[in-house]
Amino acid sequence: MFERILLIALFFLTVSILVGLYRVIKGPSLPDRVVALDTIGINIIAGVAIFSILLNTHAFFDIILLIGILSFIGTISFSKFIERGYIIEYKRDC
Amino acid sequence: MKGDHLLLLYFTLLVPFLFALLVPLLYRYMPRIHTGWFVLVVPTGIFIYMINLIPIIAKGEKLVNSVPWIPTLGINYSTYVDGLTLLFGLLISGIGALVVLYSIYYMSKQREALHNFYVYLLIFMGAMLGIAFSDNIFILYMFWELTSIASFLLIAYWYQRKQSRYGAQKSLIITVIGGLALLAGLILLSIMTNTFSIREMIEADQMIVKHQLFLPSMLLILLGAFTKSAQFPFHIWLPDAMEAPTPISAYLHSATMVKAGIYLVARFTPVFSGTIEWFWLVTGTGMITLLWGSFSAVKQNDLKAMLAFSTISQLGLIMCLLGIGSASLYASTAILAALFHLINHSTFKGCLFMVVGIVDHETGTRDIRRLGGLMNIMPITFTLMIIGSFSMAGLPPFNGFLSKELFFTGVLEAARLNIFHLETWGILLPILAWIASIFTFIYSMILVLKTFTGKYKPNKYEKKVHEAPLGMLISPIFLASLVILFFFFPNIISNNLLQPAMKAILPGLLEGGGFENNIKIWHGWTTEVFMTLGVAVVGMLLYISFPKWSGIYEYLPEKISFNYIYDRGLVGMEKLAAKITKTYMTGIVRDYLLYIFIFFVVVVGGSMVLLNNFTFNPSGNGPVSAYEVVLILVIIGAAVLVMLTKSRLTAVIGVGVIGFVVAMFFVIFRAPDLALTQLVVETVTVALFLLCFYHLPELGRETGGVGLRAANLIVSLGVGVLVTLLALTAQSNPLVDPISTFFENSYQLAGARNIVNAILVDFRGFDTMLEILVLSIAGLGVYSLIKLPLARRDNK
């Protein structure tokens, strides 16, 4: 019973990832894609968590944290890129 | 006696090389004495040593010995001394000594780089002796190439001149092509006879004739001999080699190197003779060379060029006689004539070259249109020229007369034979020989009369003309006296030198009861005498009327000459090579990738299809779950997006999606370490892509879409399908069991619960170390790429 609920949750997460992916593909603007990517990242975190329960292991907990950090950093850098055109500032005087 | 003798022999053969090492030192530390005086000791010593060998060899003894060089391959420096070898040894060292003596007076101590000259000359001399004395085919080939290289260096001695470099390159290309052919031919011979020793090959001659490799090896060896000996149509390098200093022309290009091919043909006559191919190839080529060389010599204006063509024609004569002599059981005179003329040619041609060198040295020109009237000013030179030329023309009382008579005897004998289609074609031989002799007579006359007779016009010469110094005259005088001596006492060399040499060329004849080796100065009113008389009369008439018929040389079309073909051939080959290279070396990476992929698909896929190796056996595969299907669909979608998108940023995002989904696959397939690393690396990679974005031009060239090209699509599909099929095939045919069970007790073996990490740092730590190195190199590389151009800019 519990396993079935987990599977259903996984199914809905997949659906939402696919919907996010549709946004990534379709666009129409770059910020749409970046936000969709962020959403996908969050959904993947949930997916990995459910997987860990399904597989009865805690080997993947690190990954959950890592995806959270990376998703954040990625979104930030994309945002900075969209806003300024570059990510790491280039100091002229060095 | 034997042991000492052989040691001495090896020492003698190596002396020129050893002394060549000393020459620069002598040149440097003994600047007052002309280096040539030191060098003169070497050939003189060798010559005296060789003379001591004559009685031993004349008795029929043979000196055989071998020193191991690469014994595991059966390559030994083995020497074999018989009559033929000794004949060449005497020629090389004797003429070598005279040439060195001549060069002492010819080459200026102040202006010339003498150490180079004598080092090259000594290397050449040693190599030439090596050819004559070696019994092992590889040693023979080694020395053969060494003569080519030494000759190359000597021709381009005045390397500042364009013509010298051209001549040197030409001679090197032609002789090395021949040398490589010779190597192939010798290897084929060794395959047939299973030995590297020429002597043992000769003993196995019956077996060789029936072998299927017989003809190829014969053709290849003949190609080597013909290129070296300047036979038609490979004669073109010899006239251009006349850019060398005159002592070199006298030594290499008349007496020694060009006779290496003659030596080779004579040496291998016992192996190949008796076949119709050998007979007609050697005889025919020799006859054509004889005719063409003498015909071309008449039209030359440069004395040295005339002598070069004359050398070509005389070599053709010797070659032709060797060919006739290969029908040995019927025509033994021909071999005698060939060997006798070999010696005679060396003497008179060496003398002539030296005389021409003197004329050049004293007047400043070699052009017969400017020369004339030197008879009273240079009487000794004139006498020497007469002796050499008349001997070359075949007049008594000079040795050329005897060998010319023997030559006519040889061709007449051949014409009477009834083998090798000689009954139909044989009559051509004496006729052609006669015509060639007439031309020989004409240019011999030109050589003497155009240079020395007529009126003396001082304003035509750049310097004040006078007789040459005595030192320069010694060598040609010596050779000229030999020319006369050989005429009056031909049987001294015939008995002591020619007879053993004939035995070497025709070993089978010895059992047949010996041969006629007496050379008679006069043997009655025979056909030969009338032929010689005819040559003299017709030749004189033609010489007098030369201005009337010299126009025929104008009709020779320039485009048929072999020089033209050679020059155009080189240019054409270069152009063709450049063209071919340009067609596929486009400089576009996409094309090269295309070649690699097509090659991969064709070779791997083709061989898999041909061997019928594609199999698919799903029995060992695990079940496919729903989320794997979903992830695969996502990855396919992202891949299609990357390919079809028109914006670069979208492609980067697509690549990122693929990377993250791959990380998800690692999760599903229970690889947490991989998933962690993959996620970080993917993020960094995407960030790097975005970093590059900043430096790319504003929405660059590819915004218009990737653009579907049929070829690219086919190739990429081919690669994809092939790799998929290969993976499936490999998966279906596991050859060995997995070894992962060993790593499962990593806790006992390495004290680690994490098996992946245990493998990375413990079981297979070496790989990890090198991966770290790769990352360090990459980091340093990136740093230097970014920093160094900036530093350079700052310096400016």
Decide if A62 and B676 are in contact by the 8 Å CB cutoff.
Answer: yes
Low-confidence ranges of chain B (pLDDT < 70): 1-6, 205, 328-332, 420-423, 465, 508-524, 556-560, 694-709, 789-796
Inspect the interface and report whether the beta carbons of B675 and A77 lie closer than 8 Å.
no
- Give me chain B's average pLDDT, please: 83
Per-residue model confidence as pLDDT tens digits over A8-42: 998 898 889 888 878 877 778 888 888 888 888 88
Q: Which of B653, B691, B693 sits opposite A24 (nearest CB)?
A: B653
Dihedral Cα B199, B202, B208, B209, nearest 10 deg = 160
Q: Is B283 left (phi over 0), alpha (psi -120 to 50) or beta?
A: alpha
Alpha helices (H) along B107-136:
114-133
| pLDDT tens per residue, range B145-180 | 999 999 999 998 888 888 889 999 999 999 999 999
The half-sphere exposure of B198 on its side-chain side, counting CA atoms within 13 A, is 33
A21 and B676 in contact by Cβ < 8 A? Answer: no
How close does chain B come to A84, measured CA to CA in Å?
A: 10
CA dist B20 and B458 (Å) reads 42
Which of B627, B646, B753 to substitute to test the interface with A, most A CBs within 10 Å? B627
Q: Report residue B553 as tokens.
A: 């040389």
Of B518, B713, B434, B762, the residue nearest B597 (C-alpha):
B713
Chain B neighbors of A83, CB-CB under 8 A: none
Q: Please list every residue in chain B whose beta carbon sits closer than 8 Å to the beta carbon of residue A37.
A: 653, 656-657
List, for residues B244-288, the tens digit of each pLDDT value. Answer: 888 888 888 777 888 889 998 888 888 887 788 888 888 888 988
Q: Read off the tokens for B44.
A: 């003189």
Compute CA B518 distance to the chain's CA centroid, rounded to the nearest angstrom.
Answer: 40
CA dist B390 and B443 (Å) reads 10
The string of DSSP codes covering B395-407 is: -TTSHHHHHHHHH
> What would the two tokens of residue B81 be?
């001394």
Q: What are the chain A neighbours of B634 within 8 Å (beta carbons)?
A: 17-18, 21
CB distance B657–A37 less than 8 Å? yes
SS3 B182: helix
> Do the chains contact at A73 and B670, CB–CB below 8 Å?
no
The answer to whether A47 faces chain B, any CB pair under 8 Å, is yes
* CA distance linking residue B295 with residue B135, whole number of Å: 38
Compute CA distances B267 → B252, B666, B678, B792, whole Å.
20, 77, 75, 67
Give me the amino acid identity at B465.
Answer: V
Residues of B with CB under 8 A from a CB of A: 627, 630, 634, 637-638, 641, 649-650, 653-654, 656-657, 660, 663-664, 667-668, 670, 672, 675-676, 679-680, 683, 686-687, 690-691, 693-694
Instruction: Return the residue in B625, B628, B629, B630 with the most chain A beta carbons within 10 A, the one to mutate for interface testing.
Output: B630
The percentage of residues in chain B with a pLDDT greater than 70, rounded to a whole number, is 91
Contact (CB, 8 A) for B658 and B631? no
Q: What is the pLDDT of residues B495-531, one digit of tens each?
A: 777 777 777 777 766 554 455 556 666 666 777 788 8
Tokens of B227: 């290129």
Chain B interface includes A20 (CB < 8 A): no
B673: CB partners within 8 A, 6+ apart:
B754, B756, B757
**Cβ–Cβ below 8 Å for A59 and B657:** no
User: Identity (one letter) of the amino acid at B508?
Assistant: G
Burial class (CB in 10 A: 0-12, 13-18, 19+), B11: exposed
| Cα nearest neighbour of A22 on chain B | B637
The angle formed by the CA atoms of residues B144, B182 and B147, to the nearest 5 degrees, is 15
What b/e sequence results for B226-242 when a residue is b if at least 16 CB atoms lie within 10 Å of its CB, and e otherwise?
bbbbbbbebbbbbbbbb
Residue B669 φ then ψ, to 5°: -90, 20
| Per-residue model confidence as pLDDT tens digits over B590-613 | 888 888 999 999 999 888 888 887
Give me the residue spans of the domains in chain A: 1-84
Contact B664 A47 (CB under 8 A): yes
| Gap between the Cα atoms of B743 and B9, Å rounded | 70
- Specify the residue for token string 């740093």: B783
3-state secondary structure of B712: helix
DSSP B367: B
Q: How far is CA B377 from the centre of its chain?
A: 45
Q: Answer whether A44 sits within 8 Å of B675, measured CB to CB.
A: no
How many angstroms separate the CA atoms of B94 and B43, rounded?
Answer: 7
How far apart CA B446 and CA B438 sit, in angstroms, is: 12
pLDDT at A93: 53
Nearest chain A CA: its distance from B683 CA (Å): 7
Q: How high is the ipTM of this complex?
A: 0.76
Within 13 Å and on the Cβ side, how many CA atoms surround A25?
A: 18
Q: What is the pLDDT of residue B1?
A: 43
Residue partners of B579: CB distance under 8 A and separation at least 6: none
Q: How far is Cα B366 from Cα B357, in angstroms, rounded to an integer?
A: 8
Quick one: closest CA in B to A18, which residue? Answer: B634
Pairwise pLDDT comparison (A59 vs B149), residue with the higher score: B149
Spatial CB neighbours of B620, under 8 Å, sequence gap ≥ 6 = B731, B732, B734
Chain A residues with CB-CB distance to B660 below 8 A = 40-41, 44
Q: Which of B647, B648, B655, B667 to probe by mutation at the A interface, max A CB count within 10 Å?
A: B667
Task: Please give the Cα distance from B766 to B520 (Å, whole number).
Answer: 88
pLDDT score, position B176? 92
**How far apart are alpha carbons B397 and B521 in whole angstroms?**
9
Residue B146 has what pLDDT? 92
Q: Are strands B63-70 and B75-81 parallel, antiparallel or unpaired?
A: antiparallel
Q: What is the model's pLDDT at position B181?
A: 93
Q: Are the beta carbons of B83 and B142 closer than 8 angstroms?
A: no
Query: Which residue bears the tokens 């590297």?
Result: B196
The H-or-E segment that residue B65 falls in is strand B63-70
Identify the bridge partners of residue B81 per DSSP, sorted by sequence position. B63
Burial class (CB in 10 A: 0-12, 13-18, 19+), B685: middle
